[in-house]
Structure 1
Amino acid sequence: MRRTDVATAKRFRDTVLPCLDDAYTLARYLTRNPVDADDLVQEAYARALRYFDGFSGGDPRPWLLTILRNCFYAWLRARRAQQGEPLPDPDETIAEATTDPWGQAPEDPEETLIRIDEAAVVRSLVEALPEPFREVLVLREMSDLSYQQIAAVTEVPIGTVMSRLARARLLVKRAWLARQAEEK
């Protein structure tokens, strides 16, 4: 391996690898499937490394998430050519909701059940949003990107980002309240 390749790989690792969680979060919400999200993130990172020389510096998250978004739309076009969508694995959903970020087992089974239910409800409400609203909501609330960064990733004006975000929040709120009213 040439010295410049090693230097580029190190710079890529130091610059882009810290964005892995944000990339996976966006991929997970876009694909609605952890296995597809893994594949999508891997493809996005491979493309990012291939074109890293074109990265002009600054915050790498919008640059990487733009690549991931483009990979998603290419994946979606290929997927639509196929028929059928696999059902999500319910055991994976439960395992994700019960995993504590610090690796500790939940103390109270009732709290665990409540957390599983609420996490599943929020996830389903976000996943039920139309794609443009879901994408903007995930980029803002989960990846904590600024409006300008979201506009760069989604290639729409900032005003459109703001209106989509407001609409997404309103749709989630209405769906949450409707669900709460049904449970009473």
Structure 2
Amino acid sequence: MKRFEELFAPHMDAAYNLARWLTGDESAAQDVVQASAFRAFRFVHRFVDGNPKAWFLTIVRHESYGWLKAAGGGRWVALGDEIAEDDLALSHAQTPELLAMHAEDARLIQQALQALAPAFREVIVLKELEDMSYKDIARVVDIPLGTVMSRLARARAMLRLELLKLHAHD
């Protein structure tokens, strides 16, 4: 139990974040993380060396895809539109106008991410939101390092195009 807590407990937020982006469902993400944590706990003896975050997120990714398959596939959506009140807390530099602009930017980014295919969305989430190395992303997604780099470059270009399209419609 202690080894599990030391290795994987620090990565629960990252696990939830990935599950939420992949499943598009808060409740499902919680279930996926719980199932993933149970699986990691059961097989913690198999984790010998390496990055515990990458190992754990690999489990989360597989559980998320399993949930999507069981739920009927095609449910590829991003985080909900709700913004936590804590995120909107005013500081000295945050005027209501600035907060509105940030909320709108976040909404556009979420829409643009939703438009990406899952294979491109997951590398963006792992790199940009979870700040994982290319090597660790390769482990999680189970693709060669070169593919991670090219997929990430393509995902960024696709995201840029989607954002341009969304800005053009506003």
- Answer whether TM exceeds 0.5 for this pair: yes
Contact 2:116–2:158, Cα closer than 8 Å, also in 1: yes
Matched, 1:176 2:163: yes
Amino acid at match of 2:19: A
Q: Could you tell me how far apart the structure 1 residues matched to 2:90 and 2:20 are?
A: 24
Contact 2:51–2:136, Cα closer than 8 Å, also in 1: no
Amino acid at match of 1:93: D
* Matching residue of 2:150: 163
Contact 2:108–2:166, Cα closer than 8 Å, also in 1: no
| Aligned match for 1:58, one of 38, 50, 53 | 50
Quote the offset at 1:182 in angstroms: 2.5
Contact 2:19–2:64, Cα closer than 8 Å, also in 1: yes
Quote the offset at 1:117 in angstroms: 1.5
Contact 1:23–1:65, Cα closer than 8 Å, also in 2: yes
Larger radius of gyration: 1
Contact 1:65–1:153, Cα closer than 8 Å, also in 2: yes
Quote the offset at 1:173 in angstroms: 0.5
For residue 94 of structure 1, give the secondary structure of its aligned residue in structure 2: coil
Contact 1:94–1:116, Cα closer than 8 Å, also in 2: no
Matched, 1:75 2:63: no
Where does the alignment leave 5 or more consecutive residues of structure 1 unmatched? 1-8
Quote the offset at 1:94 in angstroms: 2.7
Q: What do you get for the CA RMSD once the two structures are aligned? A: 2.3
For residue 95 of structure 1, give the secondary structure of its aligned residue in structure 2: coil
Contact 1:27–1:68, Cα closer than 8 Å, also in 2: yes
Contact 1:32–1:127, Cα closer than 8 Å, also in 2: no
TM-score by length of 2: 0.87
Residue deviations 1:112-168 (CA, integer Å, cap 9, x gap): 322221111111211221010001111111111111111111111111111110111
Q: Could you tell me how far apart the structure 2 residues matched to 1:16 and 1:77 are?
A: 26
Between the two proteins, the alignment pairs up a number of residues equal to: 166
Quote the offset at 1:181 in angstroms: 2.3
Q: Could you tell me how far apart the structure 2 residues matched to 1:26 and 1:143 are?
A: 8
Quote the offset at 1:106 in angstroms: 2.5
Residue deviations 1:3-25 (CA, integer Å, cap 9, x gap): xxxxxx11211211101121111
Which runs of structure 2 are paired with 1:22-101 in the superposition (5 Å)? Answer: 22-80=14-72, 93-96=81-84, 98-100=85-87
Amino acid at match of 1:75: W
Quote the offset at 1:88 in angstroms: 9.3
The percent identity for this pair of structures is 40
Matched, 1:106 2:90: yes
* Matching residue of 1:18: 10
1:88–1:168 distance in 2 versus 1, CA, 3 Å? closer
Amino acid at match of 1:166: A
